[in-house]
């Protein structure tokens, strides 16, 4: 139980540094949105295997060389008491360690650069998607605004249409009024013509009748007498004219 | 850092004073759930400090490997004891 409890908080390379380590890095089970960005660099580790916190822990009491002294002392103690036994595995381990250290020192930076480039590509792709989405959304916003502006003009459209319809109605109404007057006038003209005709016919008929009766009343004797009178009148006239002409 | 008084059990181990150690140990959660949750929280702390960063170094996995090596040496010690060079140290 002691081991279980102690191992988590105190022992090993983790525990020594927890005083100085920034507590804000440590997780809570809540998930924040948007997620906070990853920290740039991890916890500092010296010589690849010893966390920096150990050095910071010992610095106030023993200065800069403290941890190294501690390391050397521990190493000699372990070797002399043969808590660490030198056997065939030591040689194997030393060779492997040397190769690993050489490989890390030689190829570390290039591998790191490669990994960074992979990361950057991922980020760039996501960023591209995001910018594309943003662009399309702003475009959609603009289109929406344009549609709204267009919708505002609808009232003018309706006014124009209303005007058109009113004009049609007016035209139709005037046409019909015109037709009505025309028809009425035609009928009245007919009546007038009819009356005129009546009057004319009556007049003509009367005249004819009068003429006929007058002519009928002229006896043949009267006719001879009037003709003779006419002849003497004409003679007299001719004489006077002749007299005037010679004068 | 004397802000509001915190219960002893909830303090981190390094903030616990020597006299309170017994009380601290007694109050910790040793149920299976508690053990699993403390393992998980320890893992998360290590992961988020050394591995889940933008530019992690070799330290993240190197420390894990060193821990593995030492642990396996520890477990084999009873067998390795027999390879000792001297009988008396």
Measured between alpha carbons, how far is B62 from B68 in angstroms, rounded to an integer?
A: 10
Cβ-defined contact of A4 to B83 (cutoff 8 Å): no
The interface residues of chain A toward chain B in range 41-70, judged by CB-CB distance below 8 A, are 41-45, 48-49, 51
pLDDT band at B3 (very low <50, low <70, confident <90, very high): low
Closest CA of chain B from A131, distance in Å: 23
B56 closest CB neighbour out of A14, A42, A82: A42
- Is the peptide bond preceding residue A34 cis, with omega within 30 degrees of 0? yes
φ and ψ at residue A51, rounded to 5 degrees: -65, 145
Bridge partners (DSSP) listed for residue A46: A50
Measured between alpha carbons, how far is A115 from B58 in angstroms, rounded to an integer?
A: 13
Cβ-defined contact of A15 to B14 (cutoff 8 Å): yes
- Of the two residues A17 and A214, the one the predictor is more confident about is A214
For residue A37, CA distances in Å to A34, A83, A169, B53, B58 come to 9, 45, 72, 9, 21
pTM comes to 0.55
Average pLDDT, chain A: 86
pLDDT exceeding 90 applies to what percent of chain A?
Answer: 57
CB A26, CB A14: distance < 8 Å: no
**ipTM, 2 decimals?**
0.75
Q: Token digits for A20?
A: 């100085």
Report pLDDT digits (tens) over A90-128: 999 999 999 999 999 999 899 999 988 998 999 999 999
How confident is the model at residue A165, as a pLDDT? Answer: 96
Q: CA A7: distance to chain centroid?
A: 62
Report pLDDT digits (tens) over B66-82: 999 999 999 999 999 99
Cβ-defined contact of B55 to A26 (cutoff 8 Å): no
A:B CB pairs within 8 Å: 107
Report pLDDT digits (tens) over A185-197: 999 999 999 999 9
Residue A18, chain B, CB below 8 Å: the answer is yes
Tally of residues, chain A: 247
Cβ-defined contact of A27 to B45 (cutoff 8 Å): yes
Report pLDDT digits (tens) over A153-204: 888 899 999 999 999 999 999 999 999 999 999 999 999 999 999 999 999 9
Nearest chain B residue to A16 by CA: give it: B14
Chain A environment of B87 (Cβ under 8 Å):
none
Name the nearest CA neighbour of B61 among B74, B75, B50.
B50
Provide mean pLDDT across the span A210-233. 86
Chain B environment of A96 (Cβ under 8 Å):
none
CB A51, CB A43: distance < 8 Å: yes
């Amino acid at each position: 139980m002691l081991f279980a409890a102690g191992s988590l908080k105190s022992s090993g390379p983790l525990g020594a540094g927890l005083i100085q380590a920034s507590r804000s890095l440590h997780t809570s089970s809540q998930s924040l949105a948007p997620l906070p960005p990853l920290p740039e660099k991890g916890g500092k580790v010296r010589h690849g295997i010893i966390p920096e916190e150990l050095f910071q822990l010992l610095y106030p009491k023993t200065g800069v060389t403290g941890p190294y002294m501690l390391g050397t002392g521990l190493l000699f103690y372990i070797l002399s008491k043969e808590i660490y036994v030198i056997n065939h595995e030591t040689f194997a381990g030393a060779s492997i360690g040397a190769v690993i250290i050489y490989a890390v020192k030689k190829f570390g930076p290039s591998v790191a650069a490669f990994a960074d480039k992979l990361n950057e590509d991922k980020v760039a792709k996501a960023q591209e998607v995001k910018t594309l989405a943003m662009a399309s959304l702003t475009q959609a916003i603009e289109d929406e605004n344009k549609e709204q502006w267009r919708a505002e003009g609808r009232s003018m459209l309706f006014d124009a249409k209303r005007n058109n319809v009113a004009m049609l109605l007016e035209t139709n109404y005037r046409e019909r009024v015109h037709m009505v007057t025309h028809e009425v006038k035609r009928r009245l003209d007919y009546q007038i013509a009819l009356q005129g005709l009546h009057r004319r016919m009556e007049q003509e008929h009367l005249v004819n009748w009068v003429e006929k009766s007058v002519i009928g009343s002229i006896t043949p004797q009267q006719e001879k007498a009037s003709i003779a009178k006419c002849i003497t009148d004409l003679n007299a006239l001719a004489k006077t004219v002749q007299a005037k002409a010679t004068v | 850092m004397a802000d509001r008084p915190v219960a002893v059990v909830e303090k981190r181990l390094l903030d616990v004073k020597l006299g309170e150690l017994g009380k601290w140990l007694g109050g910790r959660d040793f149920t299976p759930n508690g053990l699993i949750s403390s393992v998980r929280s320890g893992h998360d702390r290590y992961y988020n400090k050394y591995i889940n960063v933008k530019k992690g170094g070799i330290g993240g996995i190197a420390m894990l490997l060193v821990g593995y090596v030492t642990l396996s040496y520890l477990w084999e010690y009873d067998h390795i004891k027999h390879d000792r060079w001297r009988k008396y140290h």
